[in-house]
Amino acid sequence: MIDLYIFNLPTNNNNNNNMNNIESYPPVLRHLDHHQLPPPPNPDPDKDPTQQDSDPIPIIDFSCLNHDKSKLDEACKDWGFFRLVNHGIPMTLLKKLQEVAKELFSLSFEAKEGACSGSPVSYFWGTPALTPSGTTTRGPQNMNWVEGFDVPLSQLPHFNPHQLPTLESIRLPIKDYKTHLSRIATTLFEAMAKNLDLSLKPSEPYLAENTGMVRVYRYPNCSDANVGWGMEAHTDSSVLSILNQDDEVSGLQVLKDDQWLTVKPIPNTLIVNLGDMMQAISDDRYKSVTHRVSINKHKERISICYFVFPGEDVAIESYKYKPFTYNEFRAQVQQDIKALGYKVGLSRFQHHEEC
Ligand SMILES: O=C(O)CCC(=O)C(=O)O
Ligand SMILES: [Fe+2]
């Protein structure tokens, strides 16, 4: 199987991952301090989560979902967040995705932008889904310090490898990854629906695989004081989000009982978080969890995130919220970001909107 993931990686004159490659940043951000600080000599295990043996995040064993339903139910109610083990994705594939992503991000900004023009993939800096866009021309203030590729999974068969040779290295492993993601998301969602006693109509999918998208992120290391978060605190708009995060570099933090907890990077595990659509579908019994990503001064962090949504025109019916479709939700989020500069989210659809 390993051979499947050996491709010609994009070549780059300055392709040394231990160095910061200035060309990989947009011109407006190239003046910032990109030097990698040397790692601290003796990391303090209390401050550095990568040095800790574990974290309190609930662990769900995918191979035992049917035997231990209550564990999943508790994780969804109390946390809206869990670590998934025994998920059946080969470790070689998870690692391959990380490696090709790293290679791709080390290309020049212009090459990355050029590779995506006229393609179904979009390339961005900052977080257009959370904050007003235009970050690559505005500079680092108020910008989320992250770059990424947005890959709509339904479009994968329509990529033209000759037109998009640079993206071919990542398209192939994503194609295999997609099959696993659909299997995992569907099984998890069905187990959650059972726990919630939801009667699902197959014709009106609350989890529509064709809506799935993968976002591949790089959070460059940065020691510049002007730069704040990799991704500021937010909830996801999805039903479920499944994250393949860097094996070594931490950054993801989750809000639990008003405390921010850092999620330890553990190889061969996935992080699952519930999004706004799942909270609405469950009538607030399950939580759309607030999370954020911090920047590491010493090392860049790669993460590969899968989001799946309801069918665009499927009405979500619940007691707490007025019926709404994902299309309406997304339009409202975009409108709020434009008018207010931030996402308001589910409270917009409550029967009595909170002030
Ligand atoms: O990169 C991560 O660890 C999390 C990304 C995330 O929260 C998001 O894309 O919504
Ligand atoms: Fe998120």
Q: What is the pLDDT of residues 209-249, one digit of tens each?
A: 888 999 999 999 888 777 788 999 999 999 999 999 999 99
CATH number of 2-320: 2.60.120.330
C-alpha 134 to ligand 2 mean position (Å): 20
| pTM to 2 decimal places | 0.88
Q: What is the pLDDT of residues 126-153, one digit of tens each?
A: 876 666 654 444 455 567 889 999 999 9
315 close to 323: Cβ distance less than 8 angstroms: yes
- Ligand 1 pocket, residue 300 CB under 6 Å: no
Structure tokens at 289: 């969890």
Domain boundaries of the chain, sorted by first residue: 2-320
Q: Counting atoms of ligand 1 from 1, which one is nearest the CA of 148?
A: 9
The CA distance from 332 to 343, in Å, is 9
Structure tokens at 53: 């043996």
Q: What ipTM does this complex have? A: 0.99
For residues 289-317, b (16+ Cβ closer than 10 Å) or e, as one string?
Answer: bbbbbbbbbebbbbbbbbbbbbbeebebe
- Ligand 1 pocket, residue 236 CB under 6 Å: yes
Q: Which ligand is nearest to the CA of 215?
A: 1
Of the listed ranges 22-26, 165-169, 182-186, 240-244, the least confidently predicted one is: 165-169
Q: Which ligand is nearest to the CA of 235?
A: 2
184 close to 239: Cβ distance less than 8 angstroms: no
- Ligand 1 pocket, residue 34 CB under 6 Å: no
